[in-house]
Amino acid sequence: MFHKEDDTLDLLGQYTKSKDSIKTKQLENNKERIVYRDAGKFTINKKTTQNFSFMGISLTAIFIIILFIAMKTVSYNSNPLIGKWADINRNTPIKYMIEFTEDKIIKLGMSYKVNYEVYKDKVEVKMKAGFVESPIGEIYYIKDKNTIIEQTILGQRILKRIE
């Protein structure tokens, strides 16, 4: 029958064994310690590598979110339509006025939530209804800093900045 040696229970074996077997047992214990120490280093390195990769992914995600917020802020601030505009070319008793704010347009006395898509020489204004955005927007061409051209179904209307 095979049994594991136990120093506390096998007192007879302690007195009968030679000193050489004790040294080899200590040597084996040292080898086991080295193996376990190396295995521990391997698992520690694996964990730290995972932590660094997780930290890298987290930092990248945070950077992208900050970049997205900054781009949204810049697009609102660089929108050339923000302000009040009026059609001063026509001699009509009712003045045609439009006011653009960061997230809405006030046109003919009615307010609409909108999203802006700013291009080099034009701005597309898309109406929103809740979370749904209209697929078709109104296009305003930028002529200069104080003049825009509204493209409508009936034709073009030239608007001047009044504020």
pLDDT at 106 over 80: yes
Are 126 and 137 in contact by the 8 Å Cβ rule? The answer is yes
pLDDT greater than 80 at residue 16: no
* pLDDT at residue 28 tops 70: no
Q: What is the pTM of this model?
A: 0.50
Question: Could you tell me the end-to-end alpha-carbon distance of the chain, in angstroms, rounded to an integer?
Answer: 101
Round to whole Å and give the CA distance between 85 and 106. 10
Q: H helices within the chain, ranges in order?
A: 11-16, 19-77
Looking at domain 83-161, its CATH class is: mainly beta
pLDDT digits (tens, 9 = 90+) for 34-56: 766 666 655 555 555 556 677 77
pLDDT at residue 141 above 90?
yes
